[in-house]
Amino acid sequence: MPPIQTGRAGSAAASPRTQRSLDLEIVEAGIAKKLPVLDALSAARRQRTAAGGAPASPTALRLLAQGDSWLDRGPTDLADSLRRDSGHRVTSLAISGSTLDQVAYGTLPLDHLGVAGADHVSRAEDLIYTMQSVRPGALLLSAGGNDVKGGALGLIGSALSSSKGFDAGAVRRHVANAFAQPYRDLVALVTAKAERMGRRVPIVIHGYDYLRVSERARWAAARLGRGAGELLETVGRAFVDAFHDVLSDLAEEHPGTVFLADLRGTLTDAVDWADEIHTSARGFTRLAGKVDGVLRSALAQQAAS
């Protein structure tokens, strides 16, 4: 197995990324031009939610959720668990397979939810339109898992081809460069919209638990080269910890607005996992319990301030 380097995150310059931002004025101008499509998307979501089971109590918290497959794998995902086990009224805008950049800066898929023209609507426009119409009590941002998976495999390949082996500092630099700005832009956009609405909307974010590395995953990783299977768990843990650190910094930058659910160490049994990166129904129930605890704490903190 190649050696593990533990250089500091700041020991080398991060690779450049395209500078993008989310401006509320621009987003709302786009919404005004696309109202018929956005109205149709909203109606399609209401119909899908109604078909999913009994409605929540009228007094239940209205929770708006945006992200990837952890909120869009139904009927067993994080959104479903928060509806079923915590009783929240969850409106999910999540799309399975999304990267963090797609969640922040991308557009909806072609004919999303059967709505023509959906691909001309940005994810940011969809989010802000739905904030205005749903008027949520809180927002759950859940994105980055697909980036972790792809980035981990890339760094395994780099480690195998380097005489220095795996560099843990490179993981931290990669994660900070790839994850921090999209999350900051999303938080700034949502906060600006909440202020314009005259509301306080706590934003709950979460990282991930340490990935389950099965023998099948080790075998698949081994095709990248000798030692890849052994590196998989090490790289996965480094990514999860680095992602948590980025989100922790974000919560510290926005006290009283952004709240972090630390999910590491939650899924301790094999039955908690459906595959290497997705949890089972039982696993999502356990994760939802932690997210719900942070959510209720955030609401209590805002109510007391």
23-81 residue pLDDT tens? 999 999 999 999 999 999 999 999 887 766 555 566 678 999 999 988 998 778 999 99
Closest residue by Cα to residue 254 from 202, 197, 182, 300: 202
Domain 21-304 of CATH type 3.40.50.1110: yes
Assign 10 a pLDDT band (cuts: 50, 70, 90). Answer: very low
d(CA 125, CA 31): 6
Give yes or no for residue 89 having a pLDDT over 70. Answer: yes
Give yes or no for residue 15 having a pLDDT over 80. Answer: no
Range in 125-129, 212-216, 291-295 with the lowest mean pLDDT: 212-216
Give yes or no for residue 11 having a pLDDT over 50. Answer: no
Task: Give me the pLDDT at residue 19, please.
Answer: 46
94-144 residue pLDDT tens? 999 899 999 999 999 999 999 999 999 999 999 999 999 999 999 999 998
Task: Give me the pLDDT at residue 128, please.
Answer: 98
Task: Give me the pLDDT at residue 2, please.
Answer: 37
Asked if 100 and 147 touch (Cβ cutoff 8 Å), the reply is yes
Give me 202's structure tokens: 């706590």
Give yes or no for residue 20 having a pLDDT over 80. Answer: no
138-180 residue pLDDT tens? 999 999 877 765 555 565 555 555 545 667 787 888 889 889 9
Task: Give me the pLDDT at residue 17, please.
Answer: 40
Task: Give me the pLDDT at residue 235, please.
Answer: 79
216-275 residue pLDDT tens? 656 555 565 665 666 777 777 888 899 999 999 999 999 999 999 999 999 988 888 887
Residue 74 CB partners (closer than 8 Å, separation 6+)? 52, 80
Give me 79's structure tokens: 């959104």
Task: Give me the pLDDT at residue 60, please.
Answer: 79
Scan for tokens 């099965």, then name that residue. 214
Q: Domain limits of the chain?
A: 21-304
Assign 16 a pLDDT band (cuts: 50, 70, 90). Answer: very low
Secondary structure in 3-state letters for 25-75: HHHHHHHHHCHHHHHHHHHHHHHHHHHCCCCCCCCCCEEEEEECHHHCCCC
182-206 residue pLDDT tens? 999 999 999 999 999 999 999 999 9
